[in-house]
Amino acid sequence: MDVQKTSIVDCWLIKPQVFKDDRGYFYESFQKERFEALTQLAFNPVQDNEAFSTYGVVRGLHLQEAPHAQAKLVRALQGTILDVAVDLRKESPTFGAVVTAVLSQENKEQLFVPKGCAHGYAVLSPEVVVFYKTDAYYHPEAESGILYKDAELNIDWRIPQTDQILSDKDRLWPTFKTYTQ
């Protein structure tokens, strides 16, 4: 496993070591001790989530408010996504920073999104299955988010506006500036 720093503090791009032969492949998608040694972060997953979507779907930008904040380890089991994290931690030196990473079944990369960051993704392939681990349980009353098309964040979702498919809720989240005031 190789971990690479991103422009957000404690947000890591994880590249696994994949062992391939004529039978297929094998890799460790998560190994707690190695992850913690390489990142210097504790991560104790308690919930696994899986989502299926089709091309053009944009999910996000979501987060769980304290005391139910969640760190996430995200990967694409099938297909390709543009994964996005936004640092909403006012005390962070990278407050307001945006990280994007292409996660796919081919590259098998994962993005670790720390607590206090909003998360979302856009489906770039015809279909996708996204899997992620969280270190806190989902609580509907703690659900929050920021607007995916916030002008200040200027995220290029790599999907033409006319092809974007969003939930009503994701179209109504507040802007970054409103959320962080």
Cα–Cα distance measured from residue 3 to residue 52, given in angstroms and rounded to the nearest whole number? 26
Residue 64 structure tokens: 């769980």
d(CA 174, CA 139): 20
10 Å CB burial of residue 35 (0-12, 13-18, 19+) is buried
How distant, in Å, are the alpha carbons of 122, 141, 155 from that of 158? 8, 31, 9
Task: Using alpha carbons, select from 93, 99, 109 the residue that is nearest to residue 155.
Answer: 99
Assess contact for 110 and 14: CB atoms under 8 A.
Answer: yes
- What element of type H or E holds 172? helix 168-172
DSSP state of 16: P
Active site residue 148: no
Q: Which of 25, 27, 55, 62 is catalytic?
A: 62
- Give me the torsion for CA of 139, 76, 119, 91, rounded to 10°: 100
* Catalytic residue chosen out of the listed positions 121, 132, 148, 179: 132
User: Is 62 assigned a catalytic role?
Assistant: yes
Q: Which residues are catalytic?
A: 62, 132
